[in-house]
Homo-oligomer: A and B are copies of this chain.
Amino acid sequence: VGIVTLLTDFGTEDTYVGQMKGVMLSHDSSLRLVDLTHDVPPQAILTAALHLRAAWEYFPAGTTHLVVVDPGVGSVRRAIAARYHSHVFVGPDNGVLDGALAGAVPDELVVLDPELIGAAAISRTFHGRDLFAPAAALIANGAPLTDVGSIADPEPIVRIDVPVPLHENCGIRGAVLMIDRYGNAMTNISADLVAQPVQHIASGSFSVGQLSGSYSDVERGEPVALISSMNTLELAVRDGSAMTRYHLEPGAEVSVSFTQTNDPAS
């Protein structure tokens, strides 16, 4: 059974997502269609990339991931399909796939060809429905990538800047990447970077003296820093919102300092 995940900035008030699903089911009514989210802020490519990065590996090998956050629709940006580790990613070549793959080079890349897809007369405003959805359906139905596009060099897909953490004197300086529904702040600091004893973790007025194991290690309403389900440093408030309490937002600087090893010579 072919599985297609969908991730867009279309929202759920309109029927844009429904139209894409109709097109896919018209190609293959047995496809399994799974929504990741459609509430990406309009045209927020980085947010979409981070969401897809967080989710795609949990799906079975062979899954096709359709991502449509496409401010350049109708312009010259390429429409691509990329295979990576037995998953296929379909979407505009605007950085969203690069971000989803964390900069990894795809194993195979094609530039979508409307004629191969049977979508010669496509709208200029909704390639999600007229180009990407039929391409994803064909791929999920088993078509090789070369059935939907022309092979291109996997290397030069459009890159996206994701803030990277910096090593500092006895510490790490990173940033908040996303705030989740609970007001938890997800940072760009991976778990392995904070594997040594922590002295202090701060972002603005958020400040804790240690890395905790779970929310329940602190009292209700208290700040807590822990390793998130994405295996990165997360700043939270137990049973509350770190975003609201400490005014955390994407881009906010996060600093981690480590316990100094006592050096007898100093």
Contact = CB atoms under 8 A, between A and B. Distances in A.
A23 B26 CA distance: 25
Interface residues of A, number: 67
A32 interface: yes
A121 B72 CA distance: 42
Interface stretch (A53-61, A152-160, A258-266): A53-61
Copies in the complex: 3
B18 A35 contact: yes
A43 interface: yes
A72 B216 contact: yes
Interface of A: 1, 3, 5, 7, 9-16, 18-19, 21-23, 25-26, 29-30, 32-39, 42-43, 51-52, 54-60, 63, 71-75, 123-126, 129-130, 180-182, 213-217, 226-229, 231, 234, 239
A12 B39 contact: yes
24 contacts: A3-B29, A10-B181, A11-B180, A13-B39, A13-B180, A16-B181, A18-B55, A19-B54, A22-B57, A22-B59, A25-B32, A25-B59, A29-B32, A33-B34, A58-B129, A72-B216, A73-B215, A74-B214, A74-B215, A75-B214, A123-B228, A124-B227, A125-B226, A130-B229
